[in-house]
Amino acid sequence: MAPKRANRSDQNNTVSQTDISNTRTTEQERQWDGQPYQKVSWYMLNLRALFQEIPEARQYIESGVLVGSKTVTVYSLAHVQAYVNGNYERGTLKSPFDFSTLPDECTPISKPVAAAESSEDEESAQPSTPPSIEFIPTTLADLGVDTKRFVVAPEVIIQFEDQILRHWTNKILDDYLQREILAEHNHRGTALIRAMEKEMVSTDPDKNSASTIRQVEVRLHREAGISSTTVLAFNNFINRDADLNATLTGTARHEDDDMRALALREVLSAHSETVFTRIVVEENRIKTNGLVTKSTISELKCLVTAARNVFSQEETKAMRLQMQEGNLLKFRETDPTRDVPNPGGRNGDKNKNKKKGGKDTPYQKPTRWEEGMRACRNCKDNPVNGGKHLDSDCPTVKGGAKLTQATDDTEAALNLFTGDGSSLSVSLDSLSTPADLLASIAAQGPGRVAMMKGDGDEPTRESLAWTIAGRSSSDASSDGDADAQPYQV
């Protein structure tokens, strides 16, 4: 029983369908993944870019020689003789120079020989043609050409043939297909060109089926029309239309210039009737000038030139209106000599305090420590409270630094107090001496009392320091019977 025909209108149908809406760019069209449908486009677009990407290929396609800055590389002596004399068939992009048309050896040339001495009777007779002999040249000197200019190097010619072929094969996405094309055409680019040109003009059912899809692509492209009234949009439309039409070469659906001009008129008319009327006027002006100057121009070229002129006028008009309305035209994003910072230069971009918007903001010193800030550097060896405070608020700077810098116990005790003689700020981790330890006890909270021996007078800052240090304020020992007096610190 025959399989049931699939319903293509069903969205759940899993039958693969060909997508005729081609959204590939020109660079993507130059690539080939092995589908026969894309082969013609791969060949045509890379053929058009051959002379641009390999400049030496132009002279090679025409004459089979490689022209350098000082030398001309040829395949053989017979090639030199044909190139110098000009008796060879010049190649074209679609029909390159064929080395098989060259003879195996040079054509014989005549060489004059010295005449023998003649008698007086022979001298009185009329002069005759000097004798000569024919020989086959075997060196460049025999051909009478500049031996420093021409170089016979067949291996260089073969290598350049491989370079031309890889201009196409490098755009093939499948490695196996690349090697297959290289082996099929014996690493010769001109062989690929001849084979593809022969294939494009041949009648093939598969090619006709692919051309049907290409024809639908052309129709959809023209129905989409020109995106905007600008020269760039018009050029993109014309180039894409030419590429699609080139893939139809060798089929009945291929359009000549007259048919393309007719289709372009319909597209321009659908784009804007007002603009199309101006294009027709400009086209008539160009044809009139051609009659006056006795120059001919094709229908398609005349229409394309007129459309570009009118589209350019529309762009200029839009720019003028923007300037009149006060809208400045932005021709560039930044000044390449002034606006772009140079991080690797002499000055560089040293200001790191910048917002994402690009504007500089003045630096503001923080007043308190917040999460996300770095730890204090003054107490990094023995962090106080995990180092979660500003460098300027570090207790080791306010009190502990003076203690560590003291030369003796007395100076350390004096450094415990600030200017008012009643308050101090010291880190517990910085205490090492008995005087420091006693001072820390007095610093842990208000109301702490330190007992000391008094002299009967009111204690002074210096005597208190001596007492805290465990010494007397006088050179002699203090009186042990003296009453101990408290002093609040």
Nearest alpha carbon to residue 436 among 448, 447, 428? 428
Q: Phi and psi dihedrals of 227, rounded to 5?
A: -70, -35
Q: Which stretches in the chain have pLDDT values below 70? A: 1-24, 114-130, 204-207, 326-361, 398-489
Question: In this predicted structure, what is the pLDDT of residue 206?
Answer: 66
Compute the radius of gyration of the chain from its Cα atoms: 48
Question: Which one-letter amino acid corresponds to residue 432?
Answer: S
Question: In this predicted structure, what is the pLDDT of residue 477?
Answer: 44
Question: In this predicted structure, what is the pLDDT of residue 447?
Answer: 42
Question: In this predicted structure, what is the pLDDT of residue 279?
Answer: 95
CB 162 within 8 A of CB 190: no
Angstrom CA distances, 153 to 80, 104, 132, 444, stand at 11, 16, 32, 98
Parallel, antiparallel or unpaired: strands 150-152 and 72-74? parallel
> How much of the chain is helix, strand and coil, in % rounded to 5?
45, 5, 45
- As a whole number of angstroms, the distance between CA 489 and CA 468 comes to 11
Residues 140-172: tens digit of each pLDDT:
888 887 778 899 999 999 999 999 999 999 999
Where do the H-state alpha helices sit in 104-204? Answer: 120-124, 140-143, 154-169, 175-184, 189-201
Parallel, antiparallel or unpaired: strands 132-135 and 109-112? antiparallel
Residues 418-461: tens digit of each pLDDT:
444 445 554 545 445 555 555 555 554 444 444 444 445 555 55
Question: In this predicted structure, what is the pLDDT of residue 151?
Answer: 92
Q: Phi and psi dihedrals of 400, rounded to 5?
A: -65, -30
Q: Where are the domains of the chain?
A: 26-107+133-201, 205-324, 385-488
Where do the H-state alpha helices sit in 256-392? Answer: 257-271, 273-293, 299-324
Q: Phi and psi dihedrals of 51, rounded to 5?
A: -65, -30
* DSSP sequence for 57-91: HHHHHHHS-EE-SS-EEES-HHHHHHHHHT-SPPP
Q: Count other Cβ atoms within 10 Å, centred on residue 479.
A: 13
Q: Which contacts qualify for 193-202: CB closer than 8 Å, 24 or more apart?
A: 193/47, 193/93, 193/94, 193/95, 193/96, 194/95, 194/96, 196/43, 197/94, 197/95, 199/250, 200/40, 200/43, 200/249, 200/250, 201/249, 201/250, 202/250
CB 259 within 8 A of CB 245: no
Angstrom CA distances, 240 to 23, 196, 245, 299, stand at 11, 21, 9, 19
Tell me if residue 354 falls in helix, strand or coil. Answer: strand
Residues 360-392: tens digit of each pLDDT:
567 788 888 888 888 888 888 888 888 888 888
Cβ-based neighbours of 168, under 8 Å, separated by 6 or more: 42, 43, 46, 181, 189, 192
Q: Phi and psi dihedrals of 354, rounded to 5?
A: -125, 145
Parallel, antiparallel or unpaired: strands 484-488 and 449-453? antiparallel
